[in-house]
Structure 1
Amino acid sequence: MMHKVLDMAGGPCRALDAVIFDFGGVLAEEGFFEGFRAIAARHGMDPGGLAETAVDVVRRGGYVEGRVSEAEFWEELRARTGIAEPDAALRRELLSRFVPRDFMFTRVDKLRGAGYKVAILSDQTNWLEELDAAHGFYRRFDLVLNSYRLGKTKKDPTLFDDVVAALGVEPGRALFIDDFEGHIRRARERGLLAIHYTGRQDFERQFRKFCPGLEG
């Protein structure tokens, strides 16, 4: 089904068939960084420094691509930081902070009800599946692509080719929403439309231009 919406410049209408959402930082609060800020505060560490180390371990170590286990991720992080807490305590700090944003899921439901295809494209780990078990959001989407299962992250531009192919839509008819500017840039380079999520107010302004009448 083809839907007519205004483009971002307010010019002629263009087709839009699918909307693709990032999870942490878009559909839900960003639990990874907030969790590590809390851990850093508890240990008297620099929050930014700990978060950067954690990102380095999760990416270079291969956890985000499913190449190493969660236990191996925490073991490497402890070796690099000296944090001695057990896995369960550390992961709880992160997962408890991935709080779903109701206003975003309202949009998901309205889009799907109106005939748009909706998808999650996330650089996540097995945690995404655990969060779904707790909150039951997978059922609200036509497609969920998680780097942990794909072995590929949004740093690889071809992942955006994969998601539109899986949805059966043309890149120029798919809207991608993410809070990381690098991912937005790569999506646009592959021909997708995109919204860089920086906060609710700005998101709602942009979303209205793409999807008038479905803003919530």
Structure 2
Amino acid sequence: MRDRARALLIDLDGVLRRWDPAPMIAVEVRYGLAPAALLETAMSWDIYRPAMAGEITDAEWMGLVASRLPLDEPEAAAAVAEWQAYRGEVDPEALEFVRGVRAAGRKVGLATNATDRLRGDLDALGLTDEVDLVLSSWEMKVHKPAPEYFEQACLTLGEQPKHVLFVDDDDRVIRGARSAKLSASRWTGPEHLPYLRKVLDLPV
């Protein structure tokens, strides 16, 4: 039988934090940009990877995004600033799950690919004190799904990988976690919460 998980690692974006596309679409419409232009530019691997790996700051990353938009420099900078002003919102059901895990005496780590803006976002969202530790790729200088990320995360939690449940919304990251010997479940919404509680040996 699989060992029961003793600790939880949970992703931020797409799990604990959700994004309403409307504010981002409004910026693109206002500046005459193609749909998803800002997100697709930001996720270009050659600038996204160093931002997540702690090689450049969030401000430097956004500067690179602005430089690639089909706008003049002041307009591009303004568009990016408006786009970044919206910082998402907390998923209440995911947060309730985290609180239940901690109330049962299990450690919860926030495991996220992020920039140096993460700590401020967590404060603004009221999440700083909702987890026991924050495992930021920017601070660790390695990002998910690298095996080194999961190794460091488990060491920080003080648990063997087989005793850690990892929850994320990205299939590629889930595969990486499983390769690193963690129990891993892809988050598609709260319908899986009874199963996740069962993995942690909590009341369903």
Normalising by the residue count of structure 1, what TM-score does the alignment of the two structures yield?
0.80
Q: Which one of the candidate residues 113, 133, 136 is aligned to 2:103?
A: 113
The aligned residue for residue 131 of structure 2 is 141
Question: In the alignment, residue 96 of structure 2 is paired with which amino acid?
Answer: T
Over 3 Å counting, the alpha-carbon distance change for 1:109 and 1:205 in structure 2 is closer
Question: In the alignment, residue 134 of structure 1 is paired with which amino acid?
Answer: A
Q: Which one of the candidate residues 28, 44, 50 is aligned to 1:40?
A: 28
Q: Determine what percentage of the aligned residue pairs are the same residue.
A: 28
Q: Is the 8 A contact 2:154 2:164 kept in 1?
A: yes
CA offsets, 1:149-188, max 9 Å, x none? 1111003221111111111111111000000111000000
Q: Which one of the candidate residues 122, 138, 150 is aligned to 1:160?
A: 150
| Residue 48 (structure 2) pairs with residue 59 (structure 1) | yes
Over 3 Å counting, the alpha-carbon distance change for 1:85 and 1:115 in structure 2 is same
Q: Distance in 1 between matches of 2:160 and 2:174?
A: 17
Normalising by the residue count of structure 2, what TM-score does the alignment of the two structures yield?
0.85
Q: Is the 8 A contact 1:160 1:190 kept in 2?
A: yes
Structure 2 segments unaligned to the other structure (5+ residues): none
Q: Is the 8 A contact 1:36 1:47 kept in 2?
A: no
Q: Which one of the candidate residues 108, 120, 129 is aligned to 2:119?
A: 129
Structure 1 segments unaligned to the other structure (5+ residues): 1-11
Q: Which one of the candidate residues 21, 27, 37 is aligned to 2:16?
A: 27
The aligned residue for residue 9 of structure 1 is none
Q: CA RMSD in A?
A: 2.3
Q: Distance in 1 between matches of 2:40 and 2:166?
A: 25
The aligned residue for residue 68 of structure 2 is 80
| Deviation at residue 131 of structure 1 after TM alignment | 1.5
Over 3 Å counting, the alpha-carbon distance change for 1:106 and 1:179 in structure 2 is same
Q: Distance in 2 between matches of 1:49 and 1:155?
A: 25
